[in-house]
């Protein structure tokens, strides 16, 4: 994980580096550091813990200089400590790194044999030694980095500063994200777009196996082998304000409330209401391709996996194509039977999740076509895929994914309708009706958020002492139950489980007693009657039952202890609405507990390790 940032220009770079690191802190927050060329040498400041500790150190030391690099860390090799924090300064060379150097132990042994003193437990320090060695032998910094990377195996996004050539930074990338930004007389690098947004919107995405020399207003890109690469900057239309908290206490709460807007942006230009169809999907498939698909494989992790699970229901229901969903990290290891005729849909907010990236590449290498449903433009998964169908949720900063989940659902629904229409599983009237209903989603979501917010906050307050919480749902509500449990676990550290409601009697029912709140998703859908029976079974075991049900459902009102109502919508739209009170519930429980909602312990926003 980790976040890196770099600046070369004429402004004082300490505030720019700190600002970039603040925006990257979601990627890791166990220590942070900066290296700035101050005219005489490289000034390194490092601090363990949250970024405010580094901020304090910099405030005291006030390093001066207009070229520098910074890092926020999520430990992979070596515990969080100052000595393991980046940047690593060896001789005249400072390095920040995101990724894992797989052969670091062998390289470490070789360096020690040659007399190097290695002070940290990190793989990054090894790279710094390899570069420094070459600089001491007379190589310029670009050649030294190129040479060192020739010895290294693994994943990296690196930024390197040398006191011998203080007007430039050298950066390189392999399997970890790195974005370059260009401004008037200045250049930047960062692990993602929001880190650079306040300074420039002109960005270049470095590809794997490439490096670049950043100088004032200029980025010279080459392959690791030294071949020149021409790549013009892309203009990014996210505004910096989209990455601020906008008055909300936490990014997560802001992002929950942004969902109607994110939905509008994601549906815009894709719902053809005039002709009652879906159009303009960047999915790289012709109508004929759509008819030729034999099976859809959905691959994802975490919350995106729950979206993919919902996608399976949508694809089978609306397009009548067999669909399989799999946790990306499990896919590769089992030698999957997949090939031409299969369409793989890789779902990811960040587009950088290594498990999903590897699974998508594996599927592609076996002849399947890969479609990426991703939020971050130009990230690794869409680059590895045959086509990218972006959600337009804007930057998601809270580690707990919310608006990206519902916009992933939107893309999966649009794709299913498009596919169903092309394959003749949906006729013109059915398609038109679906399109009309989808167009109402932003408005419906806004109503649910405003209408349930206070009630859910009260419930969260009432039940926030519970040590265990169950979430139950059937059919399309099953993945939503899983998602509700994941949200609660990750930000409030409360033990929560999501179950298929019908599975409860096969074991989990033993967990139930009067201390366990059970949230039951029972909207009016094809599974309603059976879910209601499960709700009653939970109540009979003295659970505190909170039902998320359709407005006006008197039957549920009579049985449940608490009722959160959502408007009546067609089955395919229920997940978009039922998930909203669950997101709010986990948020308020966590907030009452006083946990670090946006940066929960042990987690990172983007998981670029296997
Ligand atoms: O960026 P991705 O969607 O590929 O990330 C996948 C998971 O790491 C992510 O959804 C994770 O589970 C979130 N923290 C959930 O809120």
How would you write 136-205 as a 3-class SS string? Answer: HCCCCHHHHHHHHHHHCCEEEEEEEEECCCCCCEEEEEEECCCEEEEECCEEEEECCHHHHCCCCCEEEE
For range 480-490, the mean pLDDT: 97
Q: Which two tokens stand for residue 175?
A: 């399997």
**Residue 58, H or E segment:** helix 51-61
Which DSSP string corresponds to 391-438? -------SSS--HHHHHHHHHHHHHHHHHHHHTTSS-HHHHHHHHHHH
SS3 of residue 443 by DSSP:
helix
Please tell me if the domain spanning 3-243 has the same topology as the one spanning 444-599.
Answer: no
Which residues pair with residue 120 across a beta bridge? none
**Residue 557, H or E segment:** helix 554-559
What would the pLDDT profile of 4-23 be if each residue is shown by its tens digit? Answer: 999 999 999 999 999 999 98
SS3 of residue 576 by DSSP:
helix
Is the per-residue pLDDT at 609 higher than 80?
A: no
Going from the Cα of 13 to the center of ligand 1, the distance in angstroms, rounded, reads: 32
Going from the Cα of 398 to the center of ligand 1, the distance in angstroms, rounded, reads: 11
For range 292-302, the mean pLDDT: 97
What separation in angstroms does the CA of 576 have from each of 184, 401, 480, 494? 43, 14, 9, 24
What would the pLDDT profile of 348-374 be if each residue is shown by its tens digit? Answer: 999 999 999 999 999 999 999 999 999
**Residue 61, H or E segment:** helix 51-61
Lowest-confidence range among 6-10, 141-145, 311-315, 596-600?
596-600
Report the pLDDT value the prediction gives residue 449, as an integer from 0 to 100.
97
Going from the Cα of 193 to the center of ligand 1, the distance in angstroms, rounded, reads: 18
Bigger pLDDT: 84 vs 75: 84
Name residue, tokens 């200045």. Answer: 186
For range 58-84, the mean pLDDT: 90
Buried b / exposed e across 206-225, counting CB within 10 Å, b at 16+?
bbbebbbbbbbeebebbebe
Q: What is the mean pLDDT of the chain?
A: 94
Q: How much of the chain is in helix, strand and coil states, percent to nearest 5? A: 40, 25, 35
pLDDT interval class at 108 (50, 70, 90) = very high
Report the pLDDT value the prediction gives residue 238, as an integer from 0 to 100.
75
Find out whether the beta carbon of 599 lies less than 6 Å from any atom of ligand 1.
no
Q: Which two tokens stand for residue 140?
A: 């310029």
Find out whether the beta carbon of 607 lies less than 6 Å from any atom of ligand 1.
yes
For range 11-36, the mean pLDDT: 91
Going from the Cα of 596 to the center of ligand 1, the distance in angstroms, rounded, reads: 17
Which residues pair with residue 387 across a beta bridge? 371
**Residues in Cβ contact with 232 at an 8 Å cutoff, skipping those fewer than 6 apart:** 204
Going from the Cα of 483 to the center of ligand 1, the distance in angstroms, rounded, reads: 11
Full-model pTM: 0.76
For range 278-302, the mean pLDDT: 94
SS3 of residue 346 by DSSP:
strand
Yes or no: say if 583 and 486 are a contact pair by the CB < 8 Å rule.
no
Find out whether the beta carbon of 253 lies less than 6 Å from any atom of ligand 1.
no
Find out whether the beta carbon of 301 lies less than 6 Å from any atom of ligand 1.
yes
Q: Which two tokens stand for residue 497?
A: 């489980």
Correct CATH for 3-243 of 3.90.1170.40, 3.90.1150.10, 3.60.20.10, 3.30.420.40: 3.60.20.10
Going from the Cα of 405 to the center of ligand 1, the distance in angstroms, rounded, reads: 9
What is the topology classification, in CATH, of domain 246-439? Rossmann fold (3.40.50)
SS3 of residue 128 by DSSP:
helix
Is the per-residue pLDDT at 1 higher than 90?
A: no
For range 182-193, the mean pLDDT: 95
Q: Ligand 1, atom 11: nearest CA belongs to which residue? A: 302
**Total residue length of the chain:** 610
Index of the ligand 1 atom closest to the CA of residue 303: 10
For range 34-51, the mean pLDDT: 95
Q: Which two tokens stand for residue 444?
A: 């419906």
Yes or no: say if 496 and 463 are a contact pair by the CB < 8 Å rule.
no
Please name which of 99, 113, 92, 87 lies closest in space to residue 42, comparing C-alpha atoms. Answer: 92
Lowest-confidence range among 103-112, 303-312, 508-517, 529-538?
508-517
Find out whether the beta carbon of 482 lies less than 6 Å from any atom of ligand 1.
no
541: number of Cβ within 10 Å: 16
Q: Which two tokens stand for residue 218?
A: 């200029």
Cα–Cα distance measured from residue 291 to residue 287, given in angstroms and rounded to the nearest whole number: 7
Going from the Cα of 2 to the center of ligand 1, the distance in angstroms, rounded, reads: 15
For range 585-604, the mean pLDDT: 92
Cα–Cα distance measured from residue 335 to residue 327, given in angstroms and rounded to the nearest whole number: 14
Burial environment of residue 39 by CB neighbours within 10 A (0 to 12, 13 to 18, 19 or more): exposed
What's the first-to-final CA gap in the chain, in angstroms? 11
Name residue, tokens 């094809």. Answer: 526
Find out whether the beta carbon of 329 lies less than 6 Å from any atom of ligand 1.
no
What would the pLDDT profile of 214-258 be if each residue is shown by its tens digit? Answer: 999 999 999 999 999 999 999 987 777 666 776 789 999 999 999
Report the pLDDT value the prediction gives residue 241, as an integer from 0 to 100.
67
Find out whether the beta carbon of 400 lies less than 6 Å from any atom of ligand 1.
yes
Report the pLDDT value the prediction gives residue 131, as an integer from 0 to 100.
98
Index of the ligand 1 atom closest to the CA of residue 301: 6
Pocket test for ligand 1, best of 255, 300, 303, 493 (most atoms within 8 A of CB): 303
Find out whether the beta carbon of 176 lies less than 6 Å from any atom of ligand 1.
no
pLDDT interval class at 512 (50, 70, 90) = confident
Index of the ligand 1 atom closest to the CA of residue 404: 3
Buried b / exposed e across 47-85, counting CB within 10 Å, b at 16+?
bbebbeebbebbeeeebebbbbbbbbbbbbbbeeeeebb
Is the per-residue pLDDT at 2 higher than 90?
A: no
Which DSSP string corresponds to 236-289? P---GGGGS-TT-SSHHHHHHHTHHHHHHHHHTTTEETTTTEE--------HHH
What is the topology classification, in CATH, of domain 444-599? Rossmann fold (3.40.50)
Q: Ligand 1, atom 12: nearest CA belongs to which residue? A: 302
Report the pLDDT value the prediction gives residue 401, as an integer from 0 to 100.
97
Is the per-residue pLDDT at 33 higher than 90?
A: yes
Q: Report, as residue numbers or ranges, the catalytic residues.
A: 2, 605
Yes or no: say if 381 and 360 are a contact pair by the CB < 8 Å rule.
yes
Question: Residues of the chain with pLDDT > 90: what percent?
Answer: 83
Q: Where are the domains of the chain?
A: 3-243, 246-439, 444-599
Report the pLDDT value the prediction gives residue 243, as an integer from 0 to 100.
67
Yes or no: say if 373 and 284 are a contact pair by the CB < 8 Å rule.
no
Yes or no: say if 509 and 418 are a contact pair by the CB < 8 Å rule.
no
Report the pLDDT value the prediction gives residue 177, as an integer from 0 to 100.
85
Q: Which two tokens stand for residue 271?
A: 């719902």
Q: Ligand 1, atom 8: nearest CA belongs to which residue? A: 302
What separation in angstroms does the CA of 129 have from each of 33, 117, 189, 469? 18, 9, 22, 50
Q: Ligand 1, atom 4: nearest CA belongs to which residue? A: 348
Going from the Cα of 375 to the center of ligand 1, the distance in angstroms, rounded, reads: 12
**Residues in Cβ contact with 603 at an 8 Å cutoff, skipping those fewer than 6 apart:** 399, 490
Please name which of 437, 393, 394 lies closest in space to residue 414, comparing C-alpha atoms. Answer: 437
Index of the ligand 1 atom closest to the CA of residue 401: 16
Is the per-residue pLDDT at 415 higher than 90?
A: yes
Q: Which two tokens stand for residue 163?
A: 């006191």
Going from the Cα of 415 to the center of ligand 1, the distance in angstroms, rounded, reads: 21
Find out whether the beta carbon of 372 lies less than 6 Å from any atom of ligand 1.
no
Q: What are phi and psi of 154, to 5 degrees?
A: 140, -160
Report the pLDDT value the prediction gives residue 50, as an integer from 0 to 100.
85
CA 602 to chain centre: 15
Find out whether the beta carbon of 398 lies less than 6 Å from any atom of ligand 1.
no
Is the per-residue pLDDT at 265 higher than 70?
A: yes
Dihedral of alpha carbons 407, 298, 237, 33, sign: positive
Is the per-residue pLDDT at 571 higher than 70?
A: yes
pLDDT interval class at 379 (50, 70, 90) = confident
Q: Ligand 1, atom 7: nearest CA belongs to which residue? A: 302
Is the per-residue pLDDT at 587 higher than 90?
A: yes
Pocket test for ligand 1, best of 331, 345, 346, 353 (most atoms within 8 A of CB): 353
> Residue 232 carries which DSSP code?
P
pLDDT interval class at 505 (50, 70, 90) = confident
Pocket test for ligand 1, best of 349, 360, 374, 485 (most atoms within 8 A of CB): 349
């Amino acid at each position: 994980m980790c976040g890196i940032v770099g600046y070369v220009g004429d402004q004082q770079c300490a505030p720019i580096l700190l600002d970039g690191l603040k925006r990257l802190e979601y990627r890791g927050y166990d220590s942070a550091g900066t290296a700035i060329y101050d005219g005489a040498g490289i000034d390194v400041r490092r601090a363990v813990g949250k970024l405010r500790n580094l901020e304090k150190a910099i405030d005291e030391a006030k390093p001066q200089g207009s070229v520098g690099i910074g890092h926020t860390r999520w430990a992979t090799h070596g515990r969080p400590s100052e000595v393991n924090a980046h940047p690593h300064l060896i001789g005249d060379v400072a390095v920040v790194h995101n990724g894992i150097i797989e052969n670091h132990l062998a390289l470490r042994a070789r360096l020690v044999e040659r007399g190097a003193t290695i002070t940290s437990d990190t793989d990054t320090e090894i790279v710094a030694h390899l570069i420094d060695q070459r600089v001491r032998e007379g190589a310029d910094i670009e050649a030294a980095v190129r040479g060192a990377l020739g010895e290294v195996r693994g994943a990296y996004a690196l930024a390197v500063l040398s006191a011998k050539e203080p007007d430039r930074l050298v950066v390189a990338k392999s399997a970890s994200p790195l974005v370059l930004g260009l401004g008037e007389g200045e250049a930047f690098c960062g692990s993602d777009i929001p880190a650079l947004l306040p300074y420039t919107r002109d960005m270049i995405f470095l590809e794997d196996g490439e490096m670049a020399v950043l100088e004032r207003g200029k980025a010279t890109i080459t392959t690791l082998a030294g071949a020149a690469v021409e790549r013009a900057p892309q203009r990014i239309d996210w505004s910096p304000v989209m990455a601020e908290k906008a008055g909300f206490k936490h990014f997560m709460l802001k992002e929950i409330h942004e969902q109607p807007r994110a939905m509008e942006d994601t549906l815009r230009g894709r719902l053809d209401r005039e002709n009652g169809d879906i159009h303009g999907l960047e999915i790289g498939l012709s109508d004929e391709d759509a008819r030729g698909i034999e099976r859809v494989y959905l691959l994802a992790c975490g919350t995106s996996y729950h979206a993919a699970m919902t996608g399976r229901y949508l694809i089978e229901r609306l397009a009548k194509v067999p669909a399989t969903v799999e946790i990306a990290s499990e896919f590769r290891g089992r030698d999957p039977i997949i090939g031409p005729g299969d369409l793989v849909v890789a779902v990811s907010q960040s587009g950088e999740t290594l498990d999903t990236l590897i699974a998508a590449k594996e599927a592609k290498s076996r002849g399947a076509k890969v479609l990426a449903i991703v939020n971050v433009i130009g990230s690794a998964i869409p680059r590895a895929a045959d086509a990218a169908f972006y959600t337009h949720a804007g930057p998601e900063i809270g580690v707990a994914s919310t608006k990206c989940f519902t916009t992933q659902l939107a893309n999966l629904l649009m794709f299913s309708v498009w596919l169903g229409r092309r394959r003749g599983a949906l006729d013109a009237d059915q398609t038109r009706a679906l399109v009309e209903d989808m167009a109402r989603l932003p408005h419906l979501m806004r109503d649910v958020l405003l209408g349930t917010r206070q009630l859910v906050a009260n419930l969260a307050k009432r039940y926030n002492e519970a040590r265990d919480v169950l979430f139950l749902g059937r059919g399309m509500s099953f993945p939503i139950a899983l998602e509700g449990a994941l949200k609660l676990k990750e930000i409030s550290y409360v033990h929560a489980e999501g179950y298929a409601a019908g599975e409860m009697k096969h074991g989990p029912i033993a967990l139930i007693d009067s201390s366990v709140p059970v949230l039951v998703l029972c909207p009016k859908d094809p599974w309603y009657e059976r879910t209601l029976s499960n709700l009653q079974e939970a109540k009979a075991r003295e659970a505190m039952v909170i039902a998320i049900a359709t407005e006006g459902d008197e039957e549920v009102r009579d049985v449940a202890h608490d009722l959160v109502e959502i408007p009546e919508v067609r089955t395919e739209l229920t997940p978009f609405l039922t998930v909203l009170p669950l997101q709010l519930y986990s948020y308020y429980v966590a907030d009452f507990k006083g946990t670090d909602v946006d940066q929960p312990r042990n987690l990172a926003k983007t998981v670029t390790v296997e």
